[in-house]
Amino acid sequence: MEPPVNLDHRAAPLRVAIVQSKPRKGRYEENLRELGEVFAQLTAAQPAPDLVILPEAALTGYFLEGAVYELALDARRFAADLARTWHEAAGGATVDIACGFFENAGGTYYNSAVYVEVEHGKHCVRHVHRKMFLPTYGVFDEERFLSRGRRLQTFETRFGTMALLICEDVWHAIMPTIAAVKGARVLIVPSAAPGRGIEEDDELGSIARWREILHATAAEHGVYLLYAGLAGFEGGKGMTGSSRVVGPRGRTIVQAPALGAHIVRATLDMREIDLARATLPLLGDLGAVLPDLLLDEELPLPRGLHASGH
C-alpha cells in the first residue's frame, strides 16, 4: 500500500506529542492499559496530536536480559496492540504512532521501533527499524541477547520523509548522516539512557552529552529531531528521560524533566527545514562530497568488497 499523497506536507504544521513513559518492568498488558489512559488524555486536550512518539522498550522496560525472549512480540502484533489501544481511547481519530519494542521476528530477536498509521479503526505498519548499534559495555548487555539490524532506511509519511534511529544509533554520526542523505526531514529517536557522570553544574553528564549530540545532529542536517526518553528506575539504574524536540537549527524547542512520566507537545513548522538548509547548506555540500568519501581506497571495507564495487 502506497502512503497517502500530501503535496502540502512541507507547509502543513505537524502536531507532535512525545510520551515519556515510566513502565512497570515486564508487565506489558498493564503498561498497555496505562497507555490507553494517556491516549485518552491526549485526545481530550484538543487539538489532538498528529504524531505520538514513545521511548525505546516503552511498554516492557529496557533491562530485561533473558526475559526479552518471553516479552518480545511480532511487529504486526505490537502494531495492532498500539492501534487497538488508540482506537479504544480516541475512537476514529487519525494518528501516527512511533514506539520502541523488543521484536520476535520468527525466532530472531531485535531491539526495534515501529511506525504505525491509524485511521478509522484501521492501521498500517509504515516502517520497522531494528537497532544497528547494540551496546555491550558498562551496564549494557544488548548484543548478548539480541541480533542487530542490518539496514537503515527512510520511509514516507503524510508529513514527509522520516527515519527511525534507536538510542546508540544516534551516537554514531554516520547514522543520521545517511538518513538525511536518503531524504529524511524528521528523525525519530526512541531511547532508554541510564544516567552516568556528574557535570560541574550538577547536571548528569549523560544528559549533557545527549543534548550536545542532538543539537549538533539537527543543525548539521537541517532536520527536526524528536527524542523520546524512557524514565524510571530498573534494578537500581535510573533512566534519564529528558525527552525533547530539537529544531532544524539545532536548538531545543521543548523538553521534559529527567525524572518521571511526562507528555511533551510541540507544533512543528515544516517550512523551517528548508529555511535552515538554505541558511546552512551543509547537507547539500555533503551530497557533493560523499561519493569521493565512499570511493576512498583507504576505507576499511569488508573482506572481498573493493571500492570499485567488483
Return the closest-CA partner of residue 190 out of 78, 40, 36, 276. 78
Q: pLDDT value at position 9? A: 59
pLDDT band at residue 308, thresholds of 50, 70 and 90?
very low
Determine the average pLDDT of the residues in 80-106: 95
* CA triple 39-250-42, angle to 5 deg: 10
- Please say if the pLDDT value at position 5 is more than 60: no
User: pLDDT tens digits for 206-247?
Assistant: 898 999 999 999 999 999 999 999 999 987 788 999 999 999
In a 3-state reduction of DSSP, which class is residue 184?
A: coil
User: pLDDT tens digits for 42-58?
Assistant: 999 889 999 999 999 99
- Please say if the pLDDT value at position 2 is more than 70: no
Distance, in Å, from the CA atom of 245 to the CA atom of 16, rounded to the nearest integer, reads 9
Owner of C-alpha cell 498500517: 124
Q: What is the CATH number of domain 14-294?
A: 3.60.110.10
Cα-Cα-Cα-Cα dihedral sign, residues 168, 173, 174, 175: positive
For the chain, the average pLDDT equals 90
Residues 6+ apart with CB under 8 A from 140: none
**Counting beta carbons within 10 angstroms of the beta carbon of residue 65, is it exposed (0 to 12), middle (13 to 18) or buried (19 or more)?**
exposed
With b for 16 or more beta-carbon neighbours within 10 A and e for fewer, the 288-306 pattern comes to eeeeeeeeeeeeeeeeeee
What are the residues facing 187 on neighbouring strands? 163, 225
User: pLDDT tens digits for 139-192?
Assistant: 888 989 999 999 999 999 999 999 999 999 999 999 999 999 999 999 999 999
Q: Angle, to 10 degrees, between the axis of helix 174-181 and the axis of helix 282-294?
A: 110
User: pLDDT tens digits for 131-154?
Assistant: 999 998 888 889 899 999 999 999
pLDDT band at residue 302, thresholds of 50, 70 and 90?
low
pTM, 2 dp: 0.91
- The full set of domain ranges for the chain reads 14-294
